[in-house]
Amino acid sequence: MKKTVAFHTLGCKVNQAESEAMKRLFREHGYEVVDFTEPADVVIINTCTVTHLADRKSRQAIRQARRRNPGAVVAVVGCYTQTAPEEVAALPGVDVLVGTRKRRDIVALVEEAARERRLINAVGDIRGATEFEELPLDFSSRTRAFLKIQEGCNQYCTYCIIPYARGPIRSLAPGKVREGVETYVRKGYREVVLTGIHLGLYGADLAGGINLARLLAMLTTVPGLERLRLSSLEPLEVTDELLAVMAENPKICPHLHIPLQSGSDKILKLMNRPYTRDEFSRRVQEARELIPELGLSTDVIVGFPGETEEDFAATYDFVRFLEFSRLHVFPFSPRQGTPAAAFKGQVPPQIKEERVHRLVELGRQLALAFHRRHVGRSLPVLVEHERDRETNLLAGYTGNYIRVLLEGDDNLMGEIVPVTIIEAGEEVCRGIRT
């Protein structure tokens, strides 16, 4: 019988992609991947550490894995392990520790632990990392492919632990990026999503003058590629060069996710964000002038230490003025090991909750307004391979990231089809094929 391995993944899309890559490594070594709820010979917990709550969820998953699988090898991987290896090693039932490097060796490390029945600690110092860790391409998703092309962050925002967990910026060589895109196209993927921890700084560590804009221009020449989508970009990295490339190439999806975090210059400075609200606003206006169809989503942190009602009002008004198409709101969570955790002026939880509620409601209004502007228009929609759970209708996304439901046969799944928007809602729109 095949050995079995189960995964439990916490956190961001980069983590999700890395877990899928590790699953492929196990499959290549003869393992069967089973659900986390099933018995397994090996259990991998891919952790997150972006908040103290993420740490707690990681610990809960580790304990759960050991209870369900008393004889399994339990490996704890990822950001939490990287930042707190001693804490993770002290948890009962942990057999293997791997941080945000050496994940390509995960199978060998697990099998070493199984043979020797001792704790294997493969967590190294991430601060001096210079090479991009290449992992296998992920073919688990049938609709769109995720290609990680950048690792690490040098920004050190005062609330963020990620630079300590992921290390300095490293980029995948442009030739390797192109090879990955070409492979996904050969496998039949219509859309490739480029991901990274600090994606906008792609190429800053490479010779030859490559940057994200020039990489995109090169990738649009890949034969058969229909859609290229970017994940999150920092505001000042949305350059004139990048916008020009996006505007000139219809293969690049007209959508940007640009984290704002706050609309108060005082709070932005305390966060160590390297821009002002005016600079952010100018970038948005320039993007919309060049890309009229642009969908623009963002992240906002509410209740950062020192945030007064006036600071929150500045954020609220700024978000309303910029008319984001989608808004992700997070209450500030003190993260041990970051400067902001020790800042004075911590905002009481009940005030944070009330501000989050107000901003979430604004986000719903803005999303509905954005969707209504598209009623009566025909847009290309990439249809997912799974139907919407609530309605059993086909579901897909436009290039500017509007979720659309429509009637149709399963043979449309994975296809890009023209759809006319006939009804707008806060979360989704309804459409018909045109």
In this prediction the pTM is 0.93
Which range is most confident: 10-24, 130-144, 166-180? 166-180
Quick one: pLDDT at residue 371? 98
Per-residue model confidence as pLDDT tens digits over 41-70: 999 999 999 888 899 999 999 999 999 999
Distance CA 247, CA 286 (A): 11
The answer to whether 397 and 429 are in contact (CB under 8 A) is no
Per-residue model confidence as pLDDT tens digits over 314-343: 999 999 999 999 999 999 999 888 999 999
Residue range(s) in the chain whose domain bears CATH number 3.40.50.12160:
4-121
Q: What is the mean pLDDT of residues 265-272?
A: 98
CATH of 144-372, one of 3.40.50.1000, 3.40.50.880, 3.40.50.2000, 3.80.30.20: 3.80.30.20
For residue 21, pLDDT over 90 is answered with yes
Edge to edge, the sheet with strand 191-196 lists 170-171, 144-151, 191-196, 227-230
Q: What is the mean pLDDT of residues 357-382?
A: 98
Residue 90 carries which DSSP code? T
For 207-240, b where at least 16 C-beta lie within 10 A, e where not — what string? eeebbbbbbbbbbbebeebebbbbbbbbbebbbe
How confident is residue 407, by pLDDT bands cut at 50, 70 and 90? very high
Q: How far apart are the first and last CA of the chain?
A: 50
Q: What is the mean pLDDT of residues 59-82?
A: 95
- DSSP result, 110-158: HHHHHHH-S-EE-----TT--S----PPP---SSEEEEEEEE------T
Element of type H or E holding 228: strand 227-230
Quick one: pLDDT at residue 140? 78
Q: What is the mean pLDDT of residues 218-222?
A: 98
For residue 367, pLDDT over 80 is answered with yes
Residue range(s) in the chain whose domain bears CATH number 3.80.30.20:
144-372
Q: Which of 49, 35, 47 is nearest to 7 (CA)?
A: 35
For residue 141, pLDDT over 90 is answered with no
CB count within 10 Å of CB 84 equals: 20
Phi, psi torsion values for 174, nearest 5 degrees: -60, -35
Element of type H or E holding 354: helix 349-372
Average pLDDT, the chain: 96
How confident is residue 72, by pLDDT bands cut at 50, 70 and 90? very high
| DSSP bridge pairs for 424 | 429
Quick one: pLDDT at residue 301? 98
For residue 293, pLDDT over 90 is answered with yes
Distance CA 126, CA 164 (A): 8
CATH of 4-121, one of 3.40.50.12160, 3.40.1160.10, 3.20.20.20, 3.30.43.10: 3.40.50.12160
Quick one: pLDDT at residue 139? 82
The answer to whether 430 and 404 are in contact (CB under 8 A) is yes
Distance CA 44, CA 62 (A): 9
Quick one: pLDDT at residue 51? 86
Q: 378-433 sits in which CATH class?
A: mainly beta
The answer to whether 227 and 202 are in contact (CB under 8 A) is no
Residue ranges of alpha helices (H) inside 149-239 are 162-166, 174-186, 212-219
Residue 96 carries which DSSP code? E
Q: Which of 355, 181, 198, 142 is nearest to 267 (CA)?
A: 355
Quick one: pLDDT at residue 418? 98
Residue range(s) in the chain whose domain bears CATH number 2.40.50:
378-433
Percent pLDDT > 70 in the chain is: 100
| DSSP bridge pairs for 151 | 170
Residue 165, both tokens: 């967990």
Percent pLDDT > 90 in the chain is: 93
For residue 355, pLDDT over 90 is answered with yes
For residue 120, pLDDT over 80 is answered with yes
